[in-house]
Chain A
Amino acid sequence: GSDSGKSTTSGSTGSTGSGGSTATIASKLILGGPPEFKTRTDGVPGLQKNYGVVFSGYKVLDTGGPVTVTALKNGQVDAADLFTTDPSIAANGFVILQDPKNNFAAQNVLPLISKAKATDGVTKVLNGISAKLDTAGLGAILTKVQNDKQDPDAVAKQWLKDQGLDAAGTDAAGVTLTVGSANFPESVVLAQIYAEALKDHGATVSTKLNIGAREVYVPGLKDGSIDLIPEYNGSILQYLDKNATATSSDDVYAALQKALPPNLVVLDQSKAQDSDAIVVTKATADKYGLTSIADLAKTQ
C-alpha cells in the first residue's frame, strides 16, 4: 500500500493541469468519501480518467456512514461516494449519478476465503447462499438493519430462514474458521449470514466484525487472522491489481481468479450487486441538471 502515496501525487498533478480556463460544474463542487477513495483506481483518479471530472476539493468522510450522509445532506459536500444499496439514499431523496463508462466495476457479492478452509462442504454452503442472494434482497436486508435497527445477527438468521437455508447439516463439520467483515453494516450482515449458515452446518465459527477497510482486513486474511469475508468482486480486484480493466461481472470474476494471492480463493459470486456510486442531493441535481457522472464535466 505504500505506493498509493505516489498515485495521490499524480492524481493531483493531473487535476491541476485540467483545471483550465473553462469552469466545469465539478470544479465548483466538493466531493466527499472515504480516505482511500482519494487514491483508489475507481476513486478520484478514475473519475478524472474516465469522465474528466475534477472536483474543486475532496473531503475525507467515512465509508458510506452517517458522517458522509450528514455532510451531503447539510451541504458540507456537494457530491459523495455512497453505496447503491444504502437505504439513506432513498430516505433523503439523494440522486445516484449514472456511470455509463463503468468507472465503478461490477460489484457482485462473493465470499473471499482462505484456501485451507475452503473445503467442499464449506464451498457448498457458501455457494448455496450466493445462489439465493440478489440486489433487491440485499437492499431489503440493509433496510432492516439500518432503518429498522434490527440486529444484523437476527436479520441474517431471518434471511436464511426465509430462503430455506436454515436446515441443519454437517457439511462444514470439523472446520474452524474466523469470519470477518468490513466496517459497514452490509458487510456485517453478509458476514453474519455466512457465519450462521456455516454454524448450522457444523463449523466452529468465530467472528471479527467491523474490522475496517480492505487495506486492513486483506492482510488479516493473508496472515490468517481471519479466514472468510464477504467481498465485492470489482473492489477486491482493483485492490489486488491496480491496473485491472475488467468491468463486467464475468470479466471481473475471471480476472479475479488470476489476481488472487495463492492462499486465497473466491467462491461463486452472487447476483447481488452493491457498487460505489457518486450521489448528489436532489437540489444539486436539479440546479445543475445532473443525471450522470459525465454531466459533472460539462461547463456551465
Chain B
Amino acid sequence: MIGDVLTWLNDPAHWRDTRVDKGIPTQLQTHITFTLIALAIALALALPLGLFIGHTGRLTFLVTAANALRALPTVGVLVLLTVIISPHFHGRTDLGFVIPTEIVLVFLAVPPILSNTYAGVQNVSAAARDAAAGMGMTGTQVLRKVELPCSLPLIFSGFRSATLQVIATATVASYVTLGGLGAFIYDGLQQQDFPQMIGGGVLVALLALLADLLLATIQRYAVSRGISGRFSTKSVIPADAATAQVRTAEASTV
C-alpha cells in the first residue's frame, strides 16, 4: 500500500499537466492559492476585529457568534452556497464555485483567529496596560505598542490552527469541481484509485506541515524573545515566568 502510494507520487506523469489531467504542481498551486485567499480574507476580518474587541472589551458577543460558525457543517454550507451562487456566473470562469469555497474556508478560519486575538489582548497583563496608559500612551498607542506585540503568541497560534484547518479543508473545493490537492482525493475516490487518493492526502498533510513550519519560523522572529522566553543570554533567571504562556482552549482548536 505504502509502496503504491510512493510509486504514484514518483510517477513523472503525475507531475505534468495534460489535456485531461492536471499534474501535482498545478494542483498544489491551486490549493495554495485557495488557502492564501481564504487566510488573507479571514485575517483581514478577524485580526482588526479581535484587536478592537480585546482592547475595548466591547462587542464581545461577536466572539461567541464567530465561535458558533464552527457548528455549521462545511459540506452543507458549500453545497448551499454553490447552488445559490454558481448559476450567476457565465463563461469560462470558476468564480461561481470559487466564491462558495472561499466563503466556507473563511468561515473556518475566522473563529480561531478572532477568538485567539481577543484572548491574546485580554491576557496582556493589566499592569503593563496600566503602565502604558499611565505613561501617556493614547488608546491606539497602547494597542499598537503593547497589546499587539504581547498577544502575538496567541494570535500566531490561532492563525496557525486556522491555516492547518484551511489547508485540510480546501480539499472540499474538489467536491464542487475545483482543482487543488483534493482533486486527487475525490477523483481517486470515484476511480477507486487508492494510491492516488492517499497520495493526495499525503500531499495535503505535507503542505500543512510545511506551512506550519514556515509560520513557526516567522513567529520565532516576529515574537519578542521577552515573551517567547527564548533568551540569548545564558543567564536566564526565572524562565518559568516567561514560558508560562497562556493557553486557551481556542489555541488548541484545530
Contact = CB atoms under 8 A, between A and B. Distances in A.
A16 B50 CA distance: 53
A58 B20 contact: yes
A210 B87 CA distance: 24
Contact of B90 (A8, A12, A16, A74): A74
B252 to A, nearest CB: 34
Contacts of B20: 8, 11-12, 15, 38, 44, 57-58
Contacts of A215: 190-193
A70 interface: yes
B195 interface: yes
B4 A2 contact: yes
A11 B13 CA distance: 12
B231 interface: no
A36 B191 contact: yes
Nearest to A62: B177
Interface string B1-17: 00010001001011000
Q: On chain B, which size bracket covers the interface?
A: 35 or more
Interface in B165-180: 174, 176-177
A2 B190 contact: no
A11 B91 CA distance: 27
B187 A12 contact: no
Contacts of A4: 191, 193
A88 to B, nearest CB: 13
Contacts of A100: none
Contacts of B101: none
B92 A75 contact: yes
A82 to B, nearest CB: 15
A9 interface: yes
A216 B11 contact: no
Given A1-B191, A35-B191, A60-B183, A12 B177 contact: no
Contacts of B91: 74-76
Contacts of A1: 191-194
A1 to B, nearest CB: 4
A56 B196 CA distance: 24
B196 A5 contact: yes
A76 B176 CA distance: 13
A123 to B, nearest CB: 29
B188 to A, nearest CB: 8
Given A35-B186, A60-B183, A74 B19 contact: no
B201 interface: no
B240 to A, nearest CB: 54
A70 B87 contact: yes
Contact of B193 (A2, A16, A54, A212): A2
B8 A5 contact: yes
A76 B190 contact: no
Given A62-B177, A74-B90, A76-B92, A15 B193 contact: no
